[in-house]
Amino acid sequence: MPHKEPIWKHAFRLTLNHPVLWLFGVFSAVGGVFNVTGIAITNGIHALVLQTWFTIEGSQAIPRITAVVLGLLLSLIVVLVISSAAQAIIIHYTAAKHYKSEDPWYGVLRVILRSLVPMTIAVFSFYIVDAALIVGIYKIGDLVIRSIGNNSVWSSVIIPTVVIALSVFIVTLLGILTVFTLNFVVVYRMSLDRAFSSAVDLFFQCPGKAFLNMLIIAGTFISTLFLCLAAYGLLLFVGVWIAHFFVSSQALAQGIFGHTQSGLLITLLVGIIFIANAILSVFMNIEWTLFFLEHVSAVLSPKENSKARMPEIAESVGST
């Protein structure tokens, strides 16, 4: 069911018109694939594992790495369960709106219960596989640099650039496949293995459009970050301007850079980013789901599409 307006505009409109989803965005952002928190989790895994790998030598390396990995895995489980439930709700709601459902909340509890385990496993696998591949790439790059020395253009520029480029490509590719997998699980009630296989097929049907959509998401992310910083700067400027009329210059300087006031300013910035990240998470989930629904016909026949579509939506739109 294609839309005349661009997908990102439609997603932006749905995000603004349904603020109730922002609450679920708070939880989906905790462990989502493409958002500030998800990127932080990914980088945290890479940093901890790489630091452990590169700083510990000898017989203690494997036990220490194992302890770090196990600690991360256990902490991720609870986070991803909560995030997966929230993502299932947003995907279900978006698909219901896409198919003109009269009640987009119809059957949402069944969707969560049915999709929670495979979705958690899918996102969990994304983080683990991504971390393993990135760590492997960095380790190989480190070995190559050590073998050729640190005083050449290859070791200082070319190899690090290749490592970073491969890392970004792998994170993007795995992220797209994971997002498609989640949509197949929620919207088409597929098992995890079939959902991933269908996600691969869908990606190879439209790889250019998928990466282009990722660029749109990245542009939105960067724009949101600058808007948050601009809003923070505007609030700071207004605060300083108002304070200028009530306190002396010395007191003003102490107030701005004092411990209490600095803490309040940092809290304000964190709050702005937190709220923006929640809304951005909703937008990303809606945008990717709309992209998925627009292109899923490339891998599913109309008959299979009508049979596979989740009954919660089919019943609420009066389909048989």
Q: Residue 152's Cα: distance from chain center in Å?
A: 37
From the list 84, 85, 98, 5, the residue with the least C-alpha distance to 297 is: 98
In a domain, 201, yes or no: yes
- The per-residue pLDDT for 320 is 38
Where do the H-state alpha helices sit in 152-258? 153, 159-188, 192-205, 207-243, 249-257
In a domain, 101, yes or no: yes
State the Cα–Cα distance between residues 271 and 295, nearest whole angstrom.
36
In a domain, 2, yes or no: no
pLDDT per position as a tens digit, 223-280: 777 777 777 677 666 666 665 555 555 454 455 444 455 556 666 666 777 788 888 8
Domain that holds residue 44: 7-316
In a domain, 104, yes or no: yes
pLDDT per position as a tens digit, 124-137: 888 878 877 887 88
- The per-residue pLDDT for 1 is 45
Name residues whose C-beta falls within 8 Å of residue 211's C-beta, 6 or more positions apart in sequence: 172, 176
In a domain, 239, yes or no: yes
In a domain, 1, yes or no: no
Q: How many domains does the chain have?
A: 1
Residue 75 has pLDDT above 80, yes or no: no
pLDDT per position as a tens digit, 137-174: 888 887 887 777 766 777 777 788 888 888 888 888 98
Q: What's the mean per-residue pLDDT of the chain?
A: 76
pTM of the model: 0.78
